[in-house]
Amino acid sequence: MLANRGKARSIMRLTCRDLVADDVGRCFHSACGGTFYDIYKQGLSADALRAWIQLIEAGAITGDVLEDLDRPPQSRIVGVGAGAFVTDDFVREAESTMPPFMRAQLIERVLTGRSPVLTGRDVRSCKSPLNLVILTGTMEKPDLTSRELREVRNRGIEAGLARFRSYPLKSWLSEFYDPEQRAMFEASGLTVRRDYSEYFALHPPPAGLPKPFLVGVNREEVASRDGTIFSILFEHAPKRLCFSPAEQSLLRDALRGDTDEECAIHLDVSLSAVKKRWSGIYDRVAAADPNLLPDGSSESGDRLRSREKRRHLLNYLREHPQEIQPNVPSHSMGV
Where is 114: in which H helix or E strand?
none
Residue-wise pLDDT for 160-179, tens only, equals 887 887 788 999 999 988 77
How far separated are the first and last CA of the chain, in Å rounded? Answer: 44
Name the nearest CA neighbour of 129 among 166, 155, 162: 166
pLDDT at 281: 93
pLDDT at 2: 35
Where is 67: in which H helix or E strand?
strand 62-68
CB distance 85 to 172 below 8 Å: no
Name the nearest CA neighbour of 50 among 66, 64, 61: 61
Q: Sorting pLDDT into bands at 50, 70 and 90, what band is 236?
A: confident
CB distance 123 to 325 below 8 Å: no
Residue 7, pLDDT > 50, answer no
CA–CA distances in Å: residue 36 to residues 48, 103, 108, 149, 150: 11, 9, 12, 22, 24
Residue bearing the bigger pLDDT, 252 or 138: 252
Residue 276, pLDDT > 70, answer yes
Residue-wise pLDDT for 48-99, tens only, equals 999 999 999 888 998 888 888 888 888 889 999 999 999 999 999 999 999 9
Fold of the domain built from segment(s) 2-233: Aminopeptidase (3.40.630)
Ramachandran assignment for 315, one of left (phi > 0), alpha (psi -120 to 50 degrees), beta (any other):
alpha
Across the range 14-41, mean pLDDT stands at 82
Contacts of 42 (CB under 8 A, 6+ apart): none
Where is 218: in which H helix or E strand?
strand 213-218
Domain map (residue ranges) of the chain: 2-233, 245-319
Please state the separation of Cα 89 from the chain's center in Å.
23
**Report field, pTM of the whole predicted structure over 0.85:** no
Residue 238, pLDDT > 70, answer yes
Residue-wise pLDDT for 98-118, tens only, equals 999 899 999 999 999 999 999
pLDDT at 303: 58
Q: Sorting pLDDT into bands at 50, 70 and 90, what band is 275?
A: very high
